[in-house]
Amino acid sequence: MSKETVVAGEWAAFVALDWGDREHSWALQAAGMQKRETGKLAQSPEAIESWAASLAARFGEGLIAVALEQSRGALFCALSRYQNLILHPVPPAASARFRAFAAPSGSKSDDADASMLLDILLWHRDKLRALHPDDEPTREQRALVEQRRQLVDQKTATTNQMTALLKLSFPQVLEWFDETDSPLLAGFLRRWPTLPQLQAEQPESILQFLHSHNCRSQVRNRQRIEQIASARPLTTDPAVIDPSVLMVRTLLDIIEVLRAGIRTMEQRIEQLFAAHPDAAIFGSFPGAGPALAPRLLVAFGSDRSRFASAAEVQTFSGIAPVVSQSGQSKWTHFRWACPKFLRQTFHEFAALSIQQCAWARAFYALQRGRAKGHHAAVRSLAYKWIRILYACWRDRTPYQESRYTERTQARSAQRPKEIAKAVQFQFKNIAGFAKLSGSAS
């Protein structure tokens, strides 16, 4: 939520937990009381359930504010089951700085950390964001899109590792095939793991293999056959070649498993997204395909009270820059403290929208014309897109480009001349889909 919806007098108690792998330290202060209570809580479902039941028996239906240095994980998931516990995640960086202020000596203990988190909760609760979980399908979809991205990153890392080995043992194969993580290359390397084995094969057998994998370009296949015949090994040392072959085979198996896992997750994401009531909204944006539309959906969630304005989304996601000022100096810089996956979602969507949306393409060209780099221009476009995304999400209305451009054109007469000129340029391209002229770049 954007602001705390419960006034101080409605809280029954305040609790802070310092997370531990096996045991958590907690500190509690009842509303209107000065005395603090402390204790330990084992990391087990039974212990957490018993502890939550004791709080419910003591404070009844009263709401309890809970501070912890998690926004996910085992403890967070366990506590989010209880409606009377309102979780307030504390960023680890913020608690670390607060700890440095509260204990300049650097002394540290779990009990002291729990007490420190309770101080933050009591004195600076207005700076924390109380979490109210989304509905179950949205939460499942959020977990799936994040875990899918983790698998994609693992596949990329594994592919890079395999590429490094091939550069040592069989570098030519990287020139013959465009995609190093494709089933085509995997089948090729399983059959011919080294250059001598490949050169011992008949050209007809190699061509038959390529045709069976839909490589039917006669020019490209002829080039491959000629290059295979004239290729020379980088090294013939068995101490280098044999371990590399074994490792490459292992990495190929890993890539195949990761590819299958990604495909299974994508199927489940597609099912959940199609059944979600907001699917039509986020599927209507240009550039939001099967991968990004679900990510945009979970970026906003199902709770319409989570964000009070588009500006909150812009700052929370890290798309909005940070303005710093000291004395007569003032500078704007990149925002580092933010959910990285969320920022990546908006950044990737904005970049893809340039290809499919005329006004986004013109806006990007205008930003580049102001000497901004590619990523800075994309972030500026994402900043603009978030306002549109937020309005559609808030009003439960799919995006309509014609409606947006009409409103933009109506407001352009009241804007400064430079912006009005950019808007006119945008509409010239929208009407005729003309190629961008040099005046905007």
Give me the DSSP letters along 349-408: HHHHHHHH-HHHHHHHHHHHHTT--HHHHHHHHHHHHHHHHHHHHHHT----HHHHHHHH
Q: Are residues 245 and 125 in the same domain?
A: no
Confidence of residue 255 (pLDDT cuts 50, 70, 90): very high
Higher pLDDT, 385 or 426: 385
Q: Are residues 117 and 157 in the same domain?
A: no
Q: Are residues 168 and 239 in the same domain?
A: yes
Nearest to 285 by CA among 162, 161, 388, 214: 388
pTM of the predicted structure, to 2 decimals: 0.79
In a domain, 277, yes or no: no
In a domain, 2, yes or no: no
Q: Please tell me the distance from the alpha carbon of residue 288 to that of residue 294, in angstroms, as a whole number.
A: 8
Structural domain boundaries, residue 220: 140-272
- Looking at 224, 254, 272, the residue that finishes a domain is 272
Q: What does the pLDDT look like over 89-99, one tens digit per residue?
A: 998 888 888 88
Give the whole-number percent of the chain exceeding pLDDT 70: 90
Q: Are residues 88 and 110 in the same domain?
A: yes
Q: What does the pLDDT look like over 132-191, one tens digit per residue?
A: 888 899 999 999 999 999 999 999 999 999 999 999 999 999 999 999 999 999 999 999
In a domain, 1, yes or no: no
The yes-or-no verdict on residue 229 having pLDDT over 70 is yes
Q: Are residues 102 and 218 in the same domain?
A: no
Which residues have CB under 8 Å from 141's CB, separation 6+?
269, 272, 273, 276, 294, 297, 298
Q: Are residues 213 and 311 in the same domain?
A: no
Instruction: Tell me what pLDDT residue 416 has.
Output: 52
Which residues have CB under 8 Å from 423's CB, separation 6+?
408, 409, 412, 415
Q: What does the pLDDT look like over 282-314, one tens digit per residue?
A: 999 999 999 999 999 999 999 998 899 999 999
Domain total of the chain: 3
Q: Please tell me the distance from the alpha carbon of residue 23 to that of residue 51, in angstroms, as a whole number.
A: 13
The yes-or-no verdict on residue 118 having pLDDT over 50 is yes
- The neighbour count for residue 381, using CB atoms within 10 Å, is 26
Q: Are residues 304 and 435 in the same domain?
A: yes
Residues in the chain: 441
Confidence of residue 130 (pLDDT cuts 50, 70, 90): confident
- Looking at 117, 133, 149, the residue that finishes a domain is 133
Higher pLDDT, 22 or 351: 351
Instruction: Tell me what pLDDT residue 333 has.
Output: 82
Instruction: Tell me what pLDDT residue 78 has.
Output: 86
